[in-house]
Amino acid sequence: MTFETDIKRYINNNPKSKKLHDLAKKVMPGGDTRNSIYWNPFPIYLSEGNGSKVKDVDNNVRVDLVNNMTTLILGHNNKNVRKAIINQTEKGTSFPAPTSPIIELAQILCERVKSVEKIRFVNSGTEATLNAIRASRAFTHKQKIVKCEGAYHGNHDAVQISVTPDLSLAGSKNTPKPVKAFEGIANSATEDILIIPFNNDEVAEKIITENAEEIAAVIVEPINGQCGMIPAKKSFLEKLRYITKKHNIVLIFDEVISFRISSGGAQEYFDIYPDITCFGKIIGGGMPVGAFGGNKKIMNLWDPSKSKKYVQHAGTFNGNPITAIAGLTTLKSLKKDTYEKLNKKGDYLRNKLSDLFLEMEAPLTTTGVGSLFAIQCTADQVIDYRSYSKNDQVLLNKIFISLLNSGFLISNRCSGSVSVSNSYEEIDSFVLSLKKILSNLGY
Query: Which of 307, 333, 359 is where one domain is finished?
Result: 333
Judge if 162 and 289 occupy the same domain: yes
Share of the chain above pLDDT 70, in %: 99
pLDDT for position 307: 64
Per-residue confidence (pLDDT) for residue 2, from 0 to 100: 78
Residue 436 pLDDT > 80, yes or no? yes
- Residues 129-155 have a mean pLDDT of 98
Which residue from 28, 48, 26, 51 is spatially nearest to 38, judged by alpha carbons? 28
What is the rounded average pLDDT of the residues 403-413? 98
User: Domain range holding 420?
Assistant: 3-73+336-440
52 and 124, same domain (yes or no): no
Residues 93 and 46 in one domain: no
Report, as residue numbers or ranges, the catalytic residues: 152, 254, 281
Per-residue pLDDT at 195 exceeds 90:
yes
CB 24 within 8 A of CB 31: yes
Number of compact structural domains in the chain: 2
Residue 308 confidence (pLDDT) above 80: no
CATH number at residue 371: 3.90.1150.10
122 and 236 both lie in a single domain? yes
User: What's the pLDDT score for residue 3?
Assistant: 81
Whether residue 67 sits in one domain with residue 201: no
Q: Are residues 10 and 103 in the same domain?
A: no
How confident is the model at residue 433, as a pLDDT?
Answer: 98
Please tell me whether residues 180 and 139 are part of one structural domain.
yes
Residue 311 scores a pLDDT above 90 = no
Mean pLDDT across 345-356? 99
Contacts of 142 (CB under 8 A, 6+ apart): 213, 214, 215, 216, 249
CATH number of the domain residue 209 falls in:
3.40.640.10
pLDDT averaged over every residue in the chain: 97
Instruction: Decide if pLDDT at 27 tops 90.
Output: yes
The answer on pLDDT for 309 being more than 80 is: no
Q: What is the pLDDT of residue 1?
A: 63
- Per-residue pLDDT for 347 more than 80? yes
61 and 113, same domain (yes or no) = no
What pLDDT, on the 0 to 100 scale, is given for residue 304? 87
| pTM (two decimals) | 0.97
Same domain, yes or no: 290 and 192: yes
426 and 320 belong to one structural domain:
no
User: Count of residues for the chain?
Assistant: 443
Q: Which of 310, 333, 356 is the last residue of a domain?
A: 333
Question: Residues 159, 133: one domain?
Answer: yes
275 and 317 belong to one structural domain = yes
What φ, ψ does residue 191 adopt, rounded to 5°?
-80, -25
Instruction: Please say which residue of 333, 360, 375 terminates a domain.
Output: 333
